[in-house]
Amino acid sequence: MTTSVAMQLSPEKRREHQLLRLNELLAEIRNRPFYEERLQDITLPLTSLDQLPTLPLLQKSELIAENQRFGKIFDLPQRDYVRLHQTSGTRGFPMAVADTVSDWNWWLDCWDFVLSAANVTTEDIAMMAFSFGPFIGFWTANDALIRHGAMVVPGGGMSSENRLSMIQEYNCTVMCCTPTYALHLVSVAEKLGFDLAASPVTRLIVAGEPGGSIPAIRNRIEQAWDARVIDHTGASELGAWGFGSPDGQGIHVIETEFIAERLKFDNDHPEGTAAADGEEAELVLTNLGRYGGPAIRYRTGDIVRGYRQHDQDCNFLWLDGGVLGRADDMLVIRGVNIFPSSIEAIVREFEPTCEFRMIATRHDEMDQLQIEIEASEATAEALSNRLRDRLAMRVAVGCVPAESLPRFEAKSRRLIDRRQL
């Protein structure tokens, strides 16, 4: 099914397609280690998507096991997997995710929707402005662009100045990066006297942060680059699940590859209640093509405002404004998901009881994270190295005098967010 055909499916045809794919997946995984117990009381096959809520919800905490690096849903024999990546980690440790050959091809199928939205052709040359580290980042975009017939210029491990030079030298027409980095390059270009608007880039595919669907950020990028911004959303545990609407005001969920639910949770309804069009709710997704790592009714933690009834050309579920926020306390620093609890878990490996705080700032349009800790210089240096190794990003750690940081009788507030100042 082509992307254009998929986007025009009627609601009835879409649900029929989803039910068929879901039943095929459930039949395949019901006797696998992770899902055997979770599905034991479920009568299969399902006869309607209305039965989806009978399946248990899945939270990220359920994927993590002590002394086990891989998420529990990746439960095929190791020899079946050919790709390995990591999440940014909870409890101070990243979780490994893995993909089979067919899983990886499914990722690329999902990316075809993003590339279609960006009007990518074999004439395009794409600059990949990300680190090519263990996080999945734009790895799938890289392979999808190659499969699409576009030329790819790898921009990992180089300075911003060098990336700008390569964009000009190789006549790059597409840029793949985080929204923050796109803005950072604006600052770098101004300092260098580089005319960014005159560069060959006509489209920027952005991901990793919500900025691509936030009008103020999107408009600033588009004006500075004189190029169109195409937003993209995904998750290591799920896959590439969304692409930006043509008007730039929201995200479409790829509903031929994912089943989307919008649920409201409270103490009286721990299993969630369905949200109406336009209500803010948590996005719950089921991926339909990742057989090596199936996520059934996965709570993304993303807060969205979804619409079934809309005037978009694509018939998929539309999320006005994209991802509006997080249900948890996650930070996104330079495209890397950082949990304060992850930072604390690492700090406590060095100083079990000392006080510390995290400070999020913004410099030259790039988000930064630094830590102040009541500890010795040697401890600060060791902590900085450990954070770099665990999070795959540099975090400045500075020492402050003992008893100089605030104490709280109630829940500690160790995160200071100064990015809006």
- pLDDT, position 419: 76
146: alpha, beta or left? (left if phi > 0; alpha if psi -120 to 50) = alpha
Q: Which residues pair with 325 in a beta bridge?
A: 303
- pLDDT, position 245: 92
C-beta neighbour count of 7 within 10 angstroms:
22
Judge whether 392 and 133 are in contact, CB under 8 Å.
yes
Dig out the tokens for 138 from the structure.
């734009």
- CATH architecture label of 331-417: 2-Layer Sandwich (3.30)
- pLDDT, position 106: 98
The CA dihedral of 44, 47, 51, 55, to the nearest 10 degrees, is 20
Is 80 exceeded by the pLDDT of residue 412?
no
pLDDT in tens, 23-72: 999 999 999 999 999 999 999 999 999 999 999 999 998 998 777 889 99
Supply the pTM of this predicted model: 0.82
- Alpha-carbon distances, residue 164 vs 15, 182, 354 (angstroms): 45, 11, 43
Q: Is 204 helix (H, G, I), strand (E, B) or coil?
A: strand
- pLDDT, position 410: 36
Matching CATH number, 1-327, of 3.40.50.12780, 3.40.50.300, 3.40.50.720, 3.90.420.10: 3.40.50.12780
Give the model's confidence band at 329: pLDDT under 50 very low, under 70 low, under 90 confident, else very high: low
- pLDDT, position 341: 65
Question: Structural domain boundaries of the chain?
Answer: 1-327, 331-417
Is 50 exceeded by the pLDDT of residue 269?
yes
Please count the CA atoms within 13 angstroms of the CA of 22 that sit on its side-chain side. Answer: 26
Give 15's contacts (C-beta < 8 A, 6+ positions apart).
Answer: 49
pLDDT in tens, 148-181: 999 999 998 899 999 999 999 999 999 999 887 8
- pLDDT, position 382: 93
- pLDDT, position 299: 96
Please count the CA atoms within 13 angstroms of the CA of 380 that sit on its side-chain side. Answer: 17
